[in-house]
Amino acid sequence: MFKGKKILITGGTGSIGQAIVEELLKYRPEVIRIMDMNETMSHILHEKYKKHKNIRFLLGDVRDKERLRRAMEDIDIVFHMASLKHVLDCEYNPFEAIKTNVIGTQNVIDVCLEADVERVVFTSSDKAVNPPNVLGATKLLAERLITAANYYKGKRKTKLSSVRFGNVMGTRGSVIPIFKNQIKAGGPVTVTDKKMTRFMMSPTEAVKLLLKCAEMMKGGEIFIFKMPVIRPIDLAEVMINEASQEKKIEIETVGPKPGEKTHEELMTAEESKRALETDDTFILLPEIVNTDLMPKNLLSYDSYNAKPAEFKNYSSSNVKPLTKEEIVSLLKSEGLL
């Protein structure tokens, strides 16, 4: 479905943006436009991909609707990944998070509808579930904006859906690079809480989920990958053991940052009432499906080759975390050790 297509990736110079570019190139799209505000990374990637004549780098902000209009011309598929992503930064700068994560997402929606784009995939976060922080609240609202656009798009062909990511291993600002730097400096390695759990996914899994969403989407759904759970304390101990077996490096518990949760959730119990389940993915259907505005086949489990999900709260506290041996295997398979 990507061969010969024109694709736009907002926020495309990030770790997942780079991973999806690598994957999309295999399918020979006509063009991939990468729009980002990070001039340095755009320049670095421009050099990296200079032999690929079908990649374009655009400097621009999703807050700027006019810039989006130029970037969106003749585009078929949009992966909307541009956002402010760090809990603490959003807590201290809440309206900046709103400008990018909420207003920026609405700008993307408006321009996609104007351009009659075929498909729009928005990257959300498990932090959107029962959010106690600004980041999660803005991601939840952005999800609702994406779903609602399917109701008021009129006769336009555009379909819009979301994916919920967990913590993506090895991405910039994630815990693995932080632990690596702390170990390199001789410690201590800092963890928030020894009881903390997190859903973790590899960059490979993140790209798989994005492409699967683009392929399966009918409009309005939220796709959620079934991710393993890791305790950061176990991850820290594994990385210390693998990196520095001679020198003892201490682990320091520093307590939660503002807005930080002890456990994350993939879905609430209420959401699970309208969720489907495949072997590796949950598909959360929009609440408003009994209307002519939504596709009738959203009501059919068979259309997704899925079954109803179990009614429960899908929290990382209720999932058996990976063993240290399993963590080592996962990190090595992704080249992170």
Active site residues: 127
161 close to 217: Cβ distance less than 8 angstroms: yes
Tell the burial category of 28 from Cβ atoms under 10 Å away from its Cβ (0-12, 13-18, 19+): exposed
Q: How many CB atoms lie within 10 A of CB 113?
A: 18
Largest CA distance in the chain: 66
**Residues 169, 173: Cα–Cα separation, whole Å:** 10
Bond prior to 228 in cis (omega within 30° of 0): no
Please, are residues 18 and 81 in contact by the beta-carbon 8 Å criterion? no
Is residue 147 classed exposed, middle or buried when 0-12, 13-18 and 19+ CB atoms within 10 A define those classes? buried
Cα angle 228-191-236, degrees, rounded to a multiple of 5: 60
